[in-house]
Amino acid sequence: MKKSGILTALAGILMFFVLLCGCVNLGMTEKYSVDSNAQISHAEYDLAMDCSTYNLLALSARQEGYNTVKDAIEANLSRNMGNGNIAYAEVWDPQTNRVTISLSRSDTYSPPPDSRISIQEDDDDTVTFQDTTFYSPGLLQAFTSAGAGMNPVPPPPPAPTSETIWNASTGSYQVVTITPTPVPTKWIWDSSRRQYTEIDITPAPVPQFNASEEQEMVRTMLSGITVDYYLEMPGKIVNTTATTVNGNKAEWHFSGEDIFNTTIYAESQPPSLVPGFTSLPAAAGCALGALFLAYWRKRSR
């Protein structure tokens, strides 16, 4: 399961959470540093959430067959961060009722073959970084179109009120009335009245929602999820989808439905060998010019 699988796994249980309180709070922060050899020299991933969201994440982990949240997170992120040299930590803040899950890897590594992160180095030493982990418009369509365009499920037939059975004593069929199942009840001890009291324990009906209401609930859920993505490249970034660019650093900040429509992409040129020059021929020309100037000054003496 890829990192986007975390969002997928959360979607079902968070829907129930949205029905209860109308919101969810989950912040993701990613930081990657890429070196001139087209490898990742540092990777960091943080998940910040309230305790209620953490409990739902723990429930999702158990439903997926994991023993702990740690096992589920590491399995989801292993395709982008690999399996080794990963530091994991959970920090609980009782004052703010928040939990922060952090994973980091400081050694140099290449993205695993099945990763959705790719790093390429071209012949001119341009390094290209792309991360399509979040990009999943089909998943977004599935979320926001729940029930839309689908054949409605017909309601169940009404319960029968009578049944024809064979009466062996008369040697004929006869129609008998079916008595509806009585309302479930339970006897509990009433300490104030010092007697047992019968109470109704009929299960509460499951709320039914139409397609429009389901779409709105999904959008409400997604609005509480934010992503902050930071990338440091080996040279000046010349082409990118980033929100903010400063030299060799780029940032993406998105949330809600934009999560599934965002591709992380950046191209960087190799670092300048001499300030103001960005290619080897320019640097070589500068060096030759300096040598020629020194030779001319020597002859003019």
Average pLDDT, the chain: 75
Q: Are 41 and 109 in contact (CB under 8 A)?
A: no
Residue 88 confidence (pLDDT) above 80: yes
Residues 185 and 43 in one domain: no
Of residues 123 and 29, the one with the higher pLDDT is 29
Gyration radius of the chain over CA positions:
31
- Mean pLDDT across 1-14: 43
Residues 20 and 128 in one domain: yes
Distance, CA of 71 to CA of 64 (rounded, Å): 10
Q: Are 241 and 265 in contact (CB under 8 A)?
A: yes
Return the CATH number at 109: 2.60.40
Whether residue 287 lies inside any domain: the answer is no
Residues 143 and 170 in one domain: no
Could you tell me the residue range of the domain that residue 45 belongs to? 4-147+219-270
Residue closest to 127 by CA, chosen among 277, 231, 2: 231
Residue showing tokens 């703010």? 96
Whether residue 124 lies inside any domain: the answer is yes
- Residue 38's pLDDT is 92
Whether residue 86 lies inside any domain: the answer is yes
Whether residue 21 lies inside any domain: the answer is yes
Residues 166 and 137 in one domain: no
Whether residue 157 lies inside any domain: the answer is no
Whether residue 208 lies inside any domain: the answer is no
Q: Which residues pair with 129 in a beta bridge?
A: 119, 266
Residues 117 and 224 in one domain: yes
Residue 79 confidence (pLDDT) above 90: no
What token pair was written down for 9?
């796994």
Residues 180 and 142 in one domain: no
Number of structural domains, the chain? 2
Residues 181 and 234 in one domain: no
The whole model's pTM is what? 0.65
Residues 45 and 132 in one domain: yes
Half-sphere CA count of 299, side-chain side, radius 13 A: 6
Residues 95 and 177 in one domain: no
